[in-house]
Amino acid sequence: MYPAVQGRPVHFHVGQAQMPYDVHSLVLSADSPACKTLLARPLKAPIALPTVSPDDFAALTKWLYEHAPPVFDSSADLSSLCKLWVSAMALGLWQKANTLMRLGMVAAMPSDVLCSIDVVRWVFANTPSSSPLRDYIIAIFVQRSKPDRSFLLQHSPVDGEICSKFNAFAKKFQMARHKFAVSKDQGPWGTDENGFPTFDYKKVLALKGEQEPLPLPPYLVWDEKAVELPDCFFIFPGTLTYVEGLAAVLK
């Protein structure tokens, strides 16, 4: 199918059904340090990936071969995107995982997008406590949801963790709204049609939490400084948040 690709085929058994897949070794090694380490020695059996779904594996290998990421263009895709992120990290594809965060940002950008609490619960149930995907999806959830506040009652350990991170980012988001309100083009000072300076006292009251609410940024923000890109959640080899894929090179 891809005659220009070199390298030996690597055999995988994917998912609980152990579906067989073959992927060229050089394709895997180019993007995954874990795969490069693993494939440096002879393999006596197919690599088993029981926690990776066949659909995710197929999407990732297609991306590796064709150099074109999947398309995510609606809030319904956030669940699929998060699952693909987890599968990418299971294969050690950290650059693909980072790209997925940018794609999720674009998919969740429209103000009418809604992020479901079920997506957040899935992320927390399927990632370690150090995973930046947790903070990433919480940032989206705070800004793109009308949450059922019942999760704040902490009926389960997972909801308790979600509640804690929700409250922490909600405070950061409020600080970001303050910062946005006093930015150059959103502050109380302005100019009328004749070029004379104007001063909107309502915006000053908004900063004090009186009468007028703080304005919402027209884009997603990712920290208290109103940063516009989710790169603060990126993973890089050698960092504390990096978890080596392929089950730590199948040790």
pLDDT of residue 186: 52
Torsion angle, CA of 244/63/14/94, rounded to 10 degrees? 10
Structure tokens at 166: 């929700």
Strands 197-199 and 189-191: what pairing?
A: antiparallel
CA of residue 151 relative to chain centroid, distance: 21
Exposure string of 62-98, with b = 16+ CB inside 10 Å and e = fewer, is: ebbeeeebeebeebebbebbbbbbbbbbbbbbbebbb
The residue-averaged pLDDT of 101-124 equals 92
Task: Walk me through the domains of the chain, giving residue ranges and CATH numbers.
Answer: 9-181+220-250 (3.30.710.10)
Specify the pLDDT at position 150: 65
| CA-angle at 235, arms to 231 and 240, nearest 5° | 120
Name the DSSP class of 191: E
Cα–Cα distance for residue pair 161/166, rounded to 1 Å: 8
The reported pLDDT for the residue numbered 250 is: 45
Torsion angles phi and psi, residue 20, rounded to 5: -80, 135
Task: Kindly report which listed range (29-43, 59-73, 218-232) carries the lowest average pLDDT score.
Answer: 29-43
Minimum mean pLDDT among 22-26, 27-31, 151-155, 177-181: which range? 151-155
Residue 43 CA: distances (Å) to CA of 12, 61, 89: 11, 20, 21
Per-residue confidence band for 184, with pLDDT thresholds at 50, 70 and 90: very low
Tens-digit pLDDT profile for residues 59-91: 999 999 999 999 987 767 899 999 999 999 988
For residues 39 and 232, which has the higher predicted lDDT (pLDDT)? 232
CA proximity to 49, closest of 78, 2, 3, 86: 86
